[in-house]
Structures are given as C-alpha cells and as structure tokens.
Amino acid sequence: MAGGIAGALTGNGSAALADPVRAIAEAQSDLPKPADPDRQIRHVAIIMDGNGRWAKERGLPRVAGHREGVAAARRAIETARELGLTHLTLYSFSTENWRRPETEVRSLMELMKQFIESDLDKMVRENVRVRIIGDKETLPVDIRTLVERAERETAGNDGHTLQIAFNYGGRDELRRAVSLIARKVAEGVIKPEEITETHLSRALDTSGMPDPDLVIRTSGEHRVSNFLLWQAAYAEYVFLDAYWPDFDRTLFLDAVRQYYGRERRYGGRG
C-alpha cells in the first residue's frame, strides 16, 4: 500500500522507525475527513467491474483480469480499514454471472475459495468479521461450506465488517425477503397491515448492517446492476473510469473526498 501506513513504517529507513507515531500520523495526513464529524463515512459498497476488459486490452485471458481483481480487493480492504470504515461491501459474483462461460464461472469459484483459504486466518487475527450476502443455498457445496466457515470463525469479531456479495442479486434478495415475510403471515406471526419497512429490512441478507453511505463503481459504467437496490436508496454514487484491477488507495480516497464534498438530503431540501 504505497503511501499508506505500511509504507511509512517500512520505508525511509531509521527515520520512520525512530518515530513510528509520527510516521503513522504522516501516512494518515492525506486521509479525507468530513467538515462535520456527524457525516463520518461508515459503509462503502463497491461494484467491482472491468476485470475482463482490463485483461482484453492487455491481450490476456479473462481469468488474469479476475486474479488482478482479487489483488485490488485486498487493497480496498486495507484502505477501508485505514479510513476507519466499519463496513465494506464488495460485489463479487452476481446471480446473473452464472450465464458466463462455464470455464469462467469455475475460475471465479476457485478464486473465491483461494481468497478465503489464504486470508481467513489474517481476518480472524485482525478482528475482521466476514459476512456473505446472496443466495448461499444454491452455491456449490464446497463453496457454501467454505463461506459458512468464514462466517462462523469470524462471527465474534467486532472490528471492521467485510461483506462479500456472492451469488447476489438485489431483486433475488427482495424476492427471498418477501417470501420469508409471506411465510410469517401464513403462520399468523404477523398481519399484512402490520408489515413495515423495518420488517423488510430485517428479512434482507444485510439485516443488522448499516445502509451504504457511498457506492463506488469502476469501469466507466453508470448503472447499479441489481446491487443493494433497497439498501442504497439514499447512498451517494461515484462512478470511476478505471477498471477494477487498477483500483488503488488513491482512487479510493478520491471517491471518499467526493462523498464528503456532497450534501446528503435524503429526499429533503438542502
């Protein structure tokens, strides 16, 4: 993470080591901060797009772009923690992605397995809670077993929360939530006229999580792609031209600065 805390502590030789507190302060000096502390950003969600085009422009197979995308995801996780975010949500695999060629789908599944297997111990040590949102029931058994293990082993962590949207679609999530509420109505647990927005929010995969303050999308596309349709109703959006494998700390901080430069009205007047 060039320019970040790690760079400050390991670079510049003895000067950094002589005063690690100052080194950390200098590394954090470029972090965007809100003019109003009450507007401190808590939750960023990212639509990670452009892996395939990144690879194509370099004459590489699509899987090479996906591998670089995993590296970009790790950078985003580190920057999110540096920013003090409580939650980061990464859109990793959508319900529509099953339509891609079988070889590409297998590669994406394998990359998800490798990511969890290689990073889970670190997330446990660093007090990161992992949550997987999406339809876990229809995942391949080995993937489902692994993501359930990641959730189970980090369930007690109360630091940063990493949400991975995997086999996720906003419409599918709403369908499953409505189905759950309908069953409760049929069982007499709740009457139809008693249903509120809170009931629906609690039936979603993201139950208990704060709504995203900021949604970032890479690759130059300007659409939400069936992502957090309910939760992001009042989020700010930042669309970046960079492909996801090129997403780095600088782009992340710039997006947060854009967020702090806006006024969130939630449908009201400024």
Please tell me whether 170 is known to bind a ligand. Answer: no
Please tell me whether 95 is known to bind a ligand. Answer: yes
State yes or no: is 211 an active-site residue: no
Please tell me whether 218 is known to bind a ligand. Answer: no
3-state helix, strand, coil in the chain (%, to 5): 50, 15, 35
Contact predicate 17/244, CB 8 Å: no
User: Of 15, 3, 54, whose CA–CA distance to 245 is shortest?
Assistant: 54
User: For residue 92, which phi and psi values (nearest 5 degrees)?
Assistant: -100, -40
Contact predicate 212/232, CB 8 Å: yes
User: For residue 129, which phi and psi values (nearest 5 degrees)?
Assistant: -95, 135
At which residue do the structure tokens 């797009």 appear?
49
State yes or no: is 49 an active-site residue: yes
Please tell me whether 98 is known to bind a ligand. Answer: yes
Please tell me whether 225 is known to bind a ligand. Answer: yes
Please tell me whether 100 is known to bind a ligand. Answer: yes
User: CA 106, CA 104: separation in Å to the nearest integer?
Assistant: 5
Reported as type and span, the H/E element at residue 231 is none
Of 30, 97, 211, 254, the active-site residue reads: 97
Please tell me whether 224 is known to bind a ligand. Answer: yes
Please tell me whether 223 is known to bind a ligand. Answer: yes
Please tell me whether 51 is known to bind a ligand. Answer: yes
Of 30, 49, 119, 241, the active-site residue reads: 49
Please tell me whether 230 is known to bind a ligand. Answer: no
Q: How many residues appear in the chain?
A: 270
* Binding-site annotation: residue ranges: 49-54, 62, 66, 94-96, 98, 100, 217, 223-225, 236
* Binding-site annotation: residue ranges for substrate: 50-54, 62, 66, 94-96, 98, 100, 217, 223-225
* Binding-site annotation: residue ranges for Mg(2+): 49, 236
* Catalytically annotated residues: 49, 97
